[in-house]
Amino acid sequence: MPRPRLLHLIDLHLGFQAERQLESLQRGLKNEFDIEMHQLGSDTSTLRLPQTVALLRRRLNPGSVLIHAFGNRAMTIAAMAFAGPILYTPADESPRSSAKWGRAVNQYRNVHIVCSSGAEQNFYIHGGVHPDRCHLIHPSVDFSRIRKQRDQALRSQFGFTDDDRILLLAGESGTFSGHAEALWAAAILHVLDPHNKVLAWGRGSQTRRLLHFAESQKHVGFFTVAESKLQRSLAFEDLLPVSDLILVTPTGAAPSLPICIAMASGLPIVGTASAIVGEFVEDRHTALLTKSGSPKLLAQRILDLQADAALQWKIGDQARGEAYEYFSMSQQMEKFSELYRQLAHVDQPVMAGI
């Protein structure tokens, strides 16, 4: 029996979470579906839109049953080129525009949205997308990337000493990451003790803003941008063995994968109690939380955790255990397989001997 055929249509630049989702799907469902990939080029301007749509129509196989579009441009082009069902993974930092466009396109095409958290799902529903077309699938963590042993060599490359306490900003520094608040809280701690330092991955639209803030504080060595410091690409998980604590401070419909990875790391987490954070971690159970919008309170929470070694171990161990239980790739692939077949109206395969 031939495998169902579908197309992954990909924007040129995807965020961290969308890239990992695409990578997992390509690896996890290759034996169940015939998946073709097509990445959009850098020139998909309005003037070239008709040519791009025509090219996609020529690439589509007659038996294609579904397009999974990653990013706004991919979803737009898919809706123009394909009359069948479209699954959409948002990949930008502005969910407002995604929700507005998703609602408009759904009047003419059968477009469904993959949401990585209940908070994101609620955002699209409140934005006018029908609940039946918003599907919640939590991210999966690649546990092979998680290293528990401290990486002293990499700490040295960053210029950190054994006495430094490294506060890692979770994920990309995007519009809804809350990293500005986290950096402000860390600046308070650095004044109290210069061994408190901040490490950021270096990706996301707000990185330059964070650098400007750090430079205005005039604290030498207070803020390190990992990829800029080492002048090479790093996986976010590479920063975990360098760090002592993770700051999880997203606001709004931010990506949830950094929270899942933070939990899987086993490092103690301090965060702000937004809707998306509260969906994944619980105060004094898997993290230490405070209300958002107050860097001073966030700084106090960090001090509280630094002073309680037993609590650090407890919440880190509990968070790691829950991450292994809830964020496995097999669970994510099972849900995507079911959704792909549901949208494409393809029956589940019949197992031999059943």
Residue 93's pLDDT is: 60
Locate tokens 């619980």: which residue? Answer: 282
pLDDT at 52: 81
The CATH classification number of 143-326 equals 3.40.50.2000
Residue 64: what pLDDT? 74
Query: What does the pLDDT read at residue 107?
Result: 75
User: Does residue 260 contact residue 139 with C-beta atoms inside 8 Å?
Assistant: yes
Nearest to 312 by CA among 251, 249, 265, 276: 265
How far lies 61's CA from each of 4, 54, 152, in Å?
Answer: 11, 13, 51
Alpha helices (H) along the chain: 16-28, 49-59, 72-81, 95-105, 118-126, 152-158, 179-192, 207-217, 226-230, 257-265, 275-280, 295-306, 309-326, 329-344
pLDDT attached to residue 348: 53
What pLDDT, on the 0 to 100 scale, is given for residue 47?
Answer: 59
Name, in order, each residue with C-beta under 8 angstroms of 180's C-beta and a sequence gap of 6 or more: 206, 209, 210, 213
* pLDDT tens across the length of the chain (354 residues): 678 889 999 998 889 999 999 999 999 999 999 999 999 887 665 557 778 888 788 777 677 789 999 998 899 889 988 988 999 998 766 566 677 767 777 777 899 999 999 999 998 898 889 999 999 999 999 999 999 899 999 999 999 999 999 999 999 999 899 999 999 999 999 999 999 999 999 999 999 999 999 999 888 789 999 999 999 999 999 999 999 999 999 987 789 999 999 999 999 999 999 999 999 999 999 999 999 889 999 999 999 999 999 999 999 999 999 999 999 999 999 999 999 999 988 655 543 332
How far is 65 from 86, CA to CA, in rounded Å? 9
pLDDT score recorded for residue 17: 94
- Beta bridge partners of residue 166, listed in sequence order: 197
Q: Which CATH class is domain 5-140+328-344?
A: alpha beta
Question: Any idea where the domains of the chain sit in the sequence?
Answer: 5-140+328-344, 143-326
- As a whole number of angstroms, the distance between CA 144 and CA 13 comes to 25
Length of the chain: 354
Distances (CA, A) of 260 to 94, 114, 313: 21, 17, 18
